[in-house]
Amino acid sequence: MKTQICKKSFLKLLFPLLILVFTGAAWGQELIELPEYRAFPWIGSRVAVWIAAEVHLMFAAFVLGVPMFAVIVELIGVLSSQERYDKMAREFTKLLAIAMSTTAIWGGVLLFLLLTLYPRFMNYLSEVFLPTLWIYPMLFFLEAFTLYIYYYGWERMRNGKSKWFHLYLGLQLNIVGTILLLVANAWVTFMMTPGGVDMKTGALMNIWEVIDNFSWWPINIHRLIANVTFGGAIVGAYSAFKFLHSKTDEDKAHYDWMGYVGNMIAIWSFLVLPFAGYWLMRELYQYDQTMGITMMGGFLSWLWIIQAVLISSLFLASNYYLWLGMERIDGGERYQKYIKYMLSVLLLCVWVWATPHSLVVTPEEVTLMGGVHHPVIGVFGVMSAKMTAVNYMILTSAIGFMFYRRANKVATVSYALQLNLLQAGIYAGVAAYVLYLGIDGYFVEPSIRVNKYSVWQVLAVLFAILSTTVIDLFLFKNSESLGKFHWGKMPQRSQYILIFIAVSFTWLMGLMGYARSAIRQHWHVYKVMEDTSVDAFAPTLGFAANVVSVCVLVFLGLVMFIFWLGSLADHKKEDASQTPEPAQ
């Protein structure tokens, strides 16, 4: 009886409640009119969303990039039975476990800011992307749980068949992470190169075309590689930070080695990025010429000079790190004499690459020069010269790494001289070919220069790198060793170089993020939904650089906090291991 009364009372309460909820919600929808925009205090809506998006993206790049090589390093450890690889892979993953929650927090901040500050725009995006908004959180759950099982199950799945299951978890982590990346990229690229909607009304026509829009795959590939680069650079900085704080030679050796591996991953994946970037730019030109012109010849053209300075600094820094690294290898002194030549080539290339296409000059200076291009260095401001300079920098770095690889080795095979000559011939031939195309590029149609010469230059450089690496395998078969690598015997400045590389990569990533957003100009969704807010203009590069700097400092500050948290766990373990056995 009592139960029946309760049921009746419950239904009496529930019914009006349901009416209130549903009808109230319906009335609410009718009554509440969404504002176009809301203002964020002090810094404004755009800057608030900008910082949240960029910091979220930096963390996301880190948590998607690091698992790729964590799993590869773990696999190397299993196949080579070397414990140090396993230790390093686990250390990478420890950083991930902490960074994952920070990524989610910044993702939440970004979402709330967008929902509150840009309601009309978010309303439209959620209409278009509805199914992906349901899939994304599920994927995120799967990614997070896979990561936590992968990290916390490390000890438990250390041996036997369970180790292979552990590796599988690492693989799953990467696959789910990549799908997450593809979904998020669909949102971003749709804003740049929309497809699958009515361009006049914005109405959804085909959800797959919305996702698989013009720049989706170029951005997917570009970001996938860039994430590896970024992850490697941050791991390098982490190792440098730990190296500087190491008290024992053993720790120094471990973090020196870890920093070297992180940096190598960053630099080698970085060498592929310009090709992916070239493809992306080409696709953007094909989608809308105005967009391409805005980026390369319009108000964003000076951005590429900043980019040139950043990438040139990265090339110089990574080469300097390699040269310093040769000092810790017995036999490395044999190659020191070549450093001055490599440095000269690199500096010359920096000079060419950083030459602006059009100088900002007064009318009097134009009269004196006979145009807006400088009579002497003006010839270096065009694509032909810059492409040649970039390829020479890549070639020089590859030669530097070849010296590093063979620093403590002496070839013993009978055909050593011939193979050495062959390698020298390949490098000389490719250098001459790249230079020839660079010079001839001045005298051919732009379509030939862009579509053929640039591609041939890149392919020639790739051929040189790959073929000389393969030749090295034969050349140093059964080679004689002059000594060993003295890991940990690196000067402190080498670790600041690693930190410099990480800071520069992070800054470069922020700058490129700005470039990608700025080419939409005054459109939320290019030529579909116009930005009518007070921020519907592209700010100066200086202002953009200041915001990028703030993002970088916020991100690196949080990363340092994460490093510190990680070290707390280490201290705890050390304390536990040093606790004396209780007296019997």
Q: Rule CB under 8 A: say whether 499 interacts with another protein.
A: yes
Nearer to another protein, 80 or 289 (CB): 289
Q: Rule CB under 8 A: say whether 105 interacts with another protein.
A: no
One-letter amino acid for residue 257 of the chain: W
Closest by Cα among 22, 163, 139, 38 to 89: 163
Nearer to another protein, 399 or 558 (CB): 558
CB of 367 to another protein, least distance (A): 9
CB of 126 to another protein, least distance (A): 25
Q: Rule CB under 8 A: say whether 44 interacts with another protein.
A: no
CB of 300 to another protein, least distance (A): 8
Instruction: Answer for the pair 455, 427: CB distance below 8 angstroms, yes or no.
Output: no
Pick out residues in 222-251 that bind another protein (CB under 8 A): 241, 244-245
Piece in contact with another protein (CB under 8 A), picked from 84-92, 148-156, 416-424, 447-455: 447-455
Among 13, 43, 448, 568, binds another protein (CB under 8 A): 448
Pick out residues in 262-301 that bind another protein (CB under 8 A): 285-289, 293, 297-299
Closest by Cα among 553, 545, 540 to 508: 545
Nearer to another protein, 413 or 503 (CB): 503
Q: Rule CB under 8 A: say whether 360 interacts with another protein.
A: yes
Among 500, 516, 524, 526, binds another protein (CB under 8 A): 500
Q: Rule CB under 8 A: say whether 342 interacts with another protein.
A: no
Give the containing element (helix H, strand E) for 553.
helix 541-578
CB of 557 to another protein, least distance (A): 9
**Burial (Cβ within 10 Å: 0-12, 13-18, ≥19) of residue 345:** middle
Q: Rule CB under 8 A: say whether 568 interacts with another protein.
A: no
**Other C-beta atoms lying within 10 Å of the C-beta of residue 168:** 13
Q: By CB under 8 A, how many residues form the interface with another protein? A: 51
- C-alpha angle 550-555-558 in degrees, rounded to nearest 5: 125
One-letter amino acid for residue 194 of the chain: P
Angstrom distance (rounded) from CA 262 to CA 238: 9
Among 87, 405, 522, 573, binds another protein (CB under 8 A): 522
Angstrom distance (rounded) from CA 476 to CA 481: 10
Q: Rule CB under 8 A: say whether 200 interacts with another protein.
A: no
Closest by Cα among 491, 458, 507 to 313: 507
**Burial (Cβ within 10 Å: 0-12, 13-18, ≥19) of residue 480:** exposed
Closest by Cα among 390, 383, 403, 531 to 462: 390
Computed over its alpha carbons, how large is the radius of gyration of the chain?
28
Q: Which residues bind to another protein, rule: CB under 8 A?
A: 214, 241, 244-245, 285-289, 293, 297-299, 302, 305-306, 309-310, 360, 363, 366, 447-448, 451-452, 496, 499-500, 503-504, 507, 518, 521-522, 531, 536-542, 544-546, 548-549, 552-553, 556, 560
